[in-house]
């Protein structure tokens, strides 16, 4: 692959990366008044919060500061990472998936925001105005054991998301400057791209927090919309990319494989995004419930349209060269880049700007969300979190140090170049084990004549274990003891290898085996939570079963809904 294929060279790409990341860092510093600017500009960028919380609380939550437009742009920008150039394009460029794959991926990516529209106000009401995310709901509704379980699952999912983003942006930069990302000797280039992006987003996240992330999201969201419109015009204007109706019909199909992919994606993405604490932070960042609902609903529509755009681009790419894709001379997941081959160099530099904005907006959101989990859920039990050195507590320095350390394995794993969809599916499946045990806690009354009883913490925790067991049993039935990627590399071995879902179908998320796994897993979690709650009540009695697990060992969790009704404690680091 030569440098002339797309136009940008390594020097130009590094310049784009540096300028974009420095610009976002500058915006972040403005948002926290580290750089003096006219008051009207800061007021426009960072509306003042009505909350009376501490500065560290605002750092982690941007509490009650964002209107509907800000929430919409923030959800849109933070949720759409560099991976979108691979996601629906792979669906569109595969005639076995086609329309239902594209519509399925687009709608599935948009639905989590609609779910938050429905349950977000209830979660916010139950947790109070001192909360941060669904980890707080786990603690408030159940107790410390479920809080830490949800926190661990959330951190795992967000860590995998960061790895996927670093993998995506590194590979895209490599491809556009002529680096063969399938050649192991080129890992040095892509690794350094990942390191620079990870450290830059870490720096301004650690310095300026969630308010800065929301500010940069606003700018990144507008940039992304503008650049996508320009790319739409530029790509479709190329004579080489024009297709006839007959050619497009080859790529335009409604298939059973596409339907199965849609079902899989709907369950997988909905489950995973319920553990993305970046989404939940914005529930409390919203000024009020009306802003929350309008913002997430608008953001949902924007996400659908962006994903749908890239899906259509994949279909056009396939229609242009069906024989090349059918013979694997071209790959479906790279189809968008095939459309860029004849574009002017300037257009491909715009792609680099877009990709950098996409990656930075997602990664800084995830970095801030992980900081909040460390501060509020994991290290808050430490006795040293309130001891201060300078303007920050020891806990604040500790959480930032942990986040920095987490970035090291992230860019090391990104350098392995594991398929992005495969990475997401692993995390999605883990989240699917806990989604019902956690959110069935929203139901506080007996239903179906007492068959359903409000879930206890023991029931919820064992429900997660039941779903985990279902995955392992499924793998054992299918005889899976080793998982390999599309290039034959070993991803995992042993009983947990099935979590990679390497079922050998036409794409990572395709096929009946993967779909059935994603149907069975959350159902096993729900059924396990209900059954074990009944058993818990039968053994310990109604009153004791409603207490947190830690109460068994003498640790009274006085902030849970089902336990004592004392005020919810603010344990911000």
pLDDT tens digits, residue range 246-267?
999 989 999 999 999 999 999 9
The last residue of one of the domains, among 393, 413, 432, is: 432
In a domain, 3, yes or no: no
* Rounded Cα gap, residues 37 and 253, in angstroms: 54
Alpha helices in 68-142 (DSSP H): 68-79, 87-92, 98-127, 134-141
Helices (H) and strands (E) in the chain, counts: 22, 4
Question: How many domains are there within the chain?
Answer: 2
In a domain, 309, yes or no: yes
pLDDT for 563: 44
Q: Within this chain, do residues 412 and 470 fall inside the same structural domain, yes or no?
A: no
Closest CA to 496 of 517, 471, 477, 513: 471
In a domain, 47, yes or no: yes
Q: Identify the H or E element spanning 389.
A: strand 388-389
Closest CA to 403 of 199, 131, 146: 199
In a domain, 5, yes or no: no
Q: Within this chain, do residues 268 and 317 fall inside the same structural domain, yes or no?
A: yes
Domain boundaries, position 360? 10-432
Q: Within this chain, do residues 184 and 110 fall inside the same structural domain, yes or no?
A: yes
* Rounded Cα gap, residues 503 and 491, in angstroms: 13
The predicted model gives 353-361 an average pLDDT of 92
Is the CB of residue 375 less than 8 Å from the CB of residue 399?
A: yes
Q: What is the largest CA-CA distance in the chain?
A: 73
Report the percent of the chain where pLDDT is more than 70: 87
* Rounded Cα gap, residues 339 and 349, in angstroms: 14
Given a cut of 50, whether residue 439 has pLDDT beyond it is yes
Is the CB of residue 277 less than 8 Å from the CB of residue 135?
A: yes
Q: Within this chain, do residues 234 and 318 fall inside the same structural domain, yes or no?
A: yes
Closest CA to 567 of 130, 157, 158: 130
Q: Provide the 10 A C-beta neighbour count for residue 213.
A: 33
Given a cut of 50, whether residue 572 has pLDDT beyond it is no
Name residue, tokens 């006795």: 383
Q: Identify the H or E element spanning 483.
A: strand 482-484
Q: What is the DSSP letter of 569?
A: P
The last residue of one of the domains, among 432, 448, 466, is: 432
pLDDT for 573: 29
Given a cut of 60, whether residue 47 has pLDDT beyond it is no
Those residues with Cβ within 8 angstroms of residue 341's Cβ, 6 or more apart along the chain or in another chain = 5, 6, 240
pLDDT for 87: 84
pLDDT for 566: 37
Q: What is the DSSP letter of 376?
A: I
Strand partners, 493: 482
Q: Provide the 10 A C-beta neighbour count for residue 346.
A: 10
Expressed in angstroms, the distance from the first to the final Cα of the chain is: 50
pLDDT for 569: 33
Those residues with Cβ within 8 angstroms of residue 249's Cβ, 6 or more apart along the chain or in another chain = none
Give pTM, 2 decimals.
0.90
Given a cut of 60, whether residue 290 has pLDDT beyond it is yes
* Rounded Cα gap, residues 429 and 498, in angstroms: 10
* Rounded Cα gap, residues 281 and 59, in angstroms: 11
Q: What is the DSSP letter of 374?
A: I
Q: Within this chain, do residues 392 and 487 fall inside the same structural domain, yes or no?
A: no
pLDDT for 527: 97
The predicted model gives 238-247 an average pLDDT of 89
Q: Within this chain, do residues 383 and 520 fall inside the same structural domain, yes or no?
A: no
Q: Within this chain, do residues 136 and 58 fall inside the same structural domain, yes or no?
A: yes
Tokens of 330: 């071209």
pLDDT for 357: 92
Q: Within this chain, do residues 111 and 158 fall inside the same structural domain, yes or no?
A: yes
Tens of pLDDT, residue by residue over 153-187, are: 999 999 999 999 999 999 999 999 988 887 888 88
The predicted model gives 286-297 an average pLDDT of 95
Tens of pLDDT, residue by residue over 218-235, are: 888 888 898 888 888 888
* Rounded Cα gap, residues 241 and 313, in angstroms: 10
* Rounded Cα gap, residues 372 and 154, in angstroms: 11
Of the ranges 83-87, 500-504, 567-571, the best mean pLDDT one = 83-87
pLDDT for 393: 62
- Is the model more confident about 403 or about 53? 403
Is the CB of residue 156 less than 8 Å from the CB of residue 427?
A: yes
The last residue of one of the domains, among 382, 402, 432, is: 432
The predicted model gives 273-277 an average pLDDT of 95
What average pLDDT does the structure give for the chain?
86
> The dihedral of CA 118, 557, 63, 370: what is its sign?
negative
Q: Within this chain, do residues 419 and 509 fall inside the same structural domain, yes or no?
A: no
Q: Within this chain, do residues 19 and 158 fall inside the same structural domain, yes or no?
A: yes
The predicted model gives 63-83 an average pLDDT of 89
Q: Within this chain, do residues 243 and 293 fall inside the same structural domain, yes or no?
A: yes
For residue 216, name the pLDDT band (cuts at 50, 70, 90): confident
Tens of pLDDT, residue by residue over 411-430, are: 888 888 877 778 888 899 99
In a domain, 215, yes or no: yes
The predicted model gives 204-209 an average pLDDT of 86
Closest CA to 121 of 365, 284, 300, 301: 284
For residue 16, name the pLDDT band (cuts at 50, 70, 90): very high
Tens of pLDDT, residue by residue over 443-501, are: 988 888 778 899 999 999 999 999 999 999 999 998 888 877 666 677 778 888 888 88
pLDDT for 352: 93
CATH number at 113 reads: 1.20.1730.10
Q: Within this chain, do residues 390 and 471 fall inside the same structural domain, yes or no?
A: no
pLDDT for 380: 58
In a domain, 572, yes or no: no
Tens of pLDDT, residue by residue over 102-134, are: 999 999 999 999 999 999 999 999 998 888 889
In a domain, 568, yes or no: no
Closest CA to 462 of 545, 544, 518: 545
Is the CB of residue 242 less than 8 Å from the CB of residue 119?
A: no
In a domain, 180, yes or no: yes
Given a cut of 90, whether residue 312 has pLDDT beyond it is yes
Report the percent of the chain where pLDDT is more than 90: 51
């Amino acid at each position: 692959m030569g440098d002339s294929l797309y136009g940008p060279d390594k020097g130009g790409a590094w310049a784009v990366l540096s300028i974009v990341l420095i610009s976002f860092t500058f915006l972040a510093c403005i948002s926290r008044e580290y750089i003096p600017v006219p008051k009207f500009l800061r007021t426009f960028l960072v509306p003042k919060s009505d909350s009376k919380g501490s500065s560290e609380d605002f750092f982690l939550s941007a509490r009650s500061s964002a209107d509907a437009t800000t929430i919409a742009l923030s959800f849109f920008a933070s949720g759409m990472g560099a991976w979108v150039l691979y996601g629906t394009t792979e669906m569109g460029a595969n005639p076995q998936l086609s329309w239902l794959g594209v519509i399925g991926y687009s709608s599935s990516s948009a639905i989590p925001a609609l779910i938050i529209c429905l349950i977000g106000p209830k979660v916010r009401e139950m947790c109070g105005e001192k909360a941060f995310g669904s980890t707080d709901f786990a603690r408030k509704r159940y107790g410390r054991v479920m809080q830490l379980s949800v926190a661990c699952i959330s951190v795992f999912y967000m860590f995998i998301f960061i790895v996927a983003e670093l993998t995506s942006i590194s590979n895209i930069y490599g491809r556009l400057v002529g680096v063969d990302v399938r050649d192991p000797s080129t890992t040095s280039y892509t690794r350094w791209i990942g390191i620079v992006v990870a450290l830059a987003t870490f720096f301004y996240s650690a310095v300026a927090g969630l308010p800065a992330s929301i500010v940069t999201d606003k700018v990144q969201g507008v940039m992304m919309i503008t650049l996508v419109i320009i790319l739409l015009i530029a790509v479709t204007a190329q004579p080489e990319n024009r297709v006839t109706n007959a050619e497009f019909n080859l790529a335009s199909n409604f298939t059973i494989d596409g339907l199965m992919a849609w079902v899989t994606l709907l369950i997988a993405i909905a489950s995973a995004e319920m553990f993305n604490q970046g989404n939940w932070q914005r529930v409390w960042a919203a000024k009020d419930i009306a802003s929350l609902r309008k913002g997430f609903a608008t953001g949902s529509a924007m996400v659908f349209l962006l994903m749908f755009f890239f899906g259509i681009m994949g279909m056009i790419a396939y229609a242009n060269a069906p024989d090349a894709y059918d013979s694997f001379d071209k790959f479906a997941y790279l189809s968008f880049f095939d459309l860029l081959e004849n574009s002017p160099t300037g257009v491909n530099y715009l792609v680099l700007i877009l990709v950098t904005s996409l990656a930075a907006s997602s990664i800084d959101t995830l970095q801030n969300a992980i900081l909040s989990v460390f501060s509020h859920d994991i290290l808050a039990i430490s006795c040293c979190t309130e001891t201060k050195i300078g303007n920050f507590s020891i806990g604040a320095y500790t959480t930032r140090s942990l986040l920095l350390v987490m970035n090291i394995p992230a860019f090391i794993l990104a350098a392995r170049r594991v398929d992005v969809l495969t990475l997401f599916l692993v995390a999605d499946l883990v989240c699917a084990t806990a989604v019902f045990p956690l959110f069935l806690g929203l139901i506080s009354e007996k239903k179906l004549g007492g068959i359903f009883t409000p879930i206890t913490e023991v029931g919820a925790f064992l429900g997660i274990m039941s779903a985990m067991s279902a995955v392992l049993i499924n793998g054992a039935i299918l005889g899976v003891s080793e998982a390999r990627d599309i290039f034959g590399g070993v991803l995992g071995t042993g009983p947990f290898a099935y979590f990679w879902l390497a079922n050998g179908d036409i794409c990572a998320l395709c096929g009946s085996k993967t779909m059935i796994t994603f149907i069975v897993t959350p159902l096993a979690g729900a059924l396990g939570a209900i059954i074990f709650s009944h058993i818990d009540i039968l053994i310990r009695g109604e009153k004791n079963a409603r207490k947190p697990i830690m109460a068994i060992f003498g640790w009274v969790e006085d902030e849970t809904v089902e336990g004592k009704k004392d005020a919810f404690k603010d344990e911000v680091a």
